[in-house]
């Protein structure tokens, strides 16, 4: 799959492609990233990509023409590579909240063109004519779309085949089944006692070697944490039939 990123700060992406889990995705081209410097598509001596808003008001607005020239160049490059024309995704607080389901759908797709806005935003005529989807990371205002683009690419890259050492690890992720994740423990089995004298151990079931009991305990932990912190996710799981009779019996035992 391929991401074409339109940005004024391509340097923000380099470190991301050289560290951690996602590094493997980029080096193996499981995710092929092309960075496009928007200023290269300005046509004046000042390489202007923004200007004052009509109607007055603070800040600047990104201009249509440099963006359209960038999009034409990207479409031409995609066609030259024999690839499909990819949808344009723009990041803004007005977008649809990003979810794991949307990330999974993108990971199973040929890719997207990621438009990283800056300033007050993008001229609406470009959005109306060329943006296929607006995505929001959350109800707050960032200084640019680069961090949302990095976030999306990270979430997608780790779902690509061969990127995570153990594919099972993302199947057990939060939201992979629409529930929050269970707690995790590792060495030492018993932590030194704190001031109040209690040593901090590990839930015995996890040391039992009984994989069925361990799986059940983890599922119940997921249900309990999700019911306490994100009850709407329980409703959503129930609505799509993802809760077993056992799950429902356990949920009834929770004094919420």
CA dist 75 and 165 (Å) reads 34
Residue in the shown chain whose Cβ atom is closest to ligand 4FV: 117
Among 5, 49, 70, 137, binds ligand 4FV (CB under 6 A): 137
Secondary structure class of 2 (helix, strand, coil): strand
Map residues 141-160 to x or -, x wherever contact with ligand 4FV holds by CB under 6 A: xx-xx--x------------
Which residue lies nearer to ligand 4FV by CB, 111 or 117? Answer: 117
Is position 51 annotated as part of the catalytic site? no
CA dist 78 and 55 (Å) reads 37
Between CA 135 and CA 46, with CA 64 as vertex, the angle to 5 degrees is: 120
Rule CB under 6 A: is residue 53 a binding residue for ligand 4FV?
no
Is position 120 annotated as part of the catalytic site? yes
φ, ψ for residue 69, nearest 5 deg: -65, -40
Does residue 179 contact residue 222 with C-beta atoms inside 8 Å?
Answer: yes
Residue of 93, 133, 134, 181 marked catalytic: 93
CB atoms near residue 30 (< 10 Å)? 18
Which residue lies nearer to ligand 4FV by CB, 7 or 222? Answer: 7
Q: Which tokens in the block code for residue 1?
A: 């799959």
Contact stretch for ligand 4FV (CB under 6 A) within 15-23, 79-87, 113-121, 166-174:
113-121
Q: Can you give the binding site for ligand 4FV, defined by CB under 6 A?
A: 91-93, 95, 117-118, 121, 136-138, 140-142, 144-145, 148
Give the residue numbers marked as catalytic.
Answer: 93, 120, 158, 173
């Amino acid at each position: 799959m391929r991401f074409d990123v339109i940005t004024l700060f391509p340097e923000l992406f380099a470190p991301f492609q050289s560290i951690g889990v996602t590094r493997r995705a980029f080096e193996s081209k499981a995710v092929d990233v092309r960075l496009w410097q928007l200023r290269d598509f300005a046509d004046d001596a000042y390489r202007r990509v923004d200007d004052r808003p009509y109607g007055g008001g603070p800040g600047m607005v990104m201009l249509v023409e440099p963006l359209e020239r960038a999009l034409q160049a990207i479409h031409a490059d995609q066609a030259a590579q024999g690839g499909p024309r990819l949808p344009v995704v723009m990041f803004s607080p007005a977008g649809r909240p990003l979810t794991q389901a949307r990330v999974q759908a993108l990971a199973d797709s040929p890719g997207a063109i990621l438009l990283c806005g800056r300033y007050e935003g993008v001229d609406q005529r470009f959005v109306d004519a060329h943006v296929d989807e607006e995505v929001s990371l959350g109800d707050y205002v960032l200084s640019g779309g680069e961090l949302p683009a990095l976030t999306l690419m990270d979430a997608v890259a780790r779902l690509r085949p061969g990127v995570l050492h153990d594919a099972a690890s993302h199947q057990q992720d939060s939201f992979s089944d629409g529930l929050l994740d269970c707690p995790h423990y590792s060495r030492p089995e018993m932590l030194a006692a704190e001031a109040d004298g209690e040593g901090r151990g590990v839930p015995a079931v996890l040391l039992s070697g009984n994989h069925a009991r361990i799986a059940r305990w983890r599922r119940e932990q997921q249900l309990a944490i999700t019911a306490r912190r994100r009850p709407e996710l329980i409703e959503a799981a129930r609505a799509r039939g993802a809760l077993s009779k056992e799950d429902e019996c356990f949920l009834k035992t929770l004094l919420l």
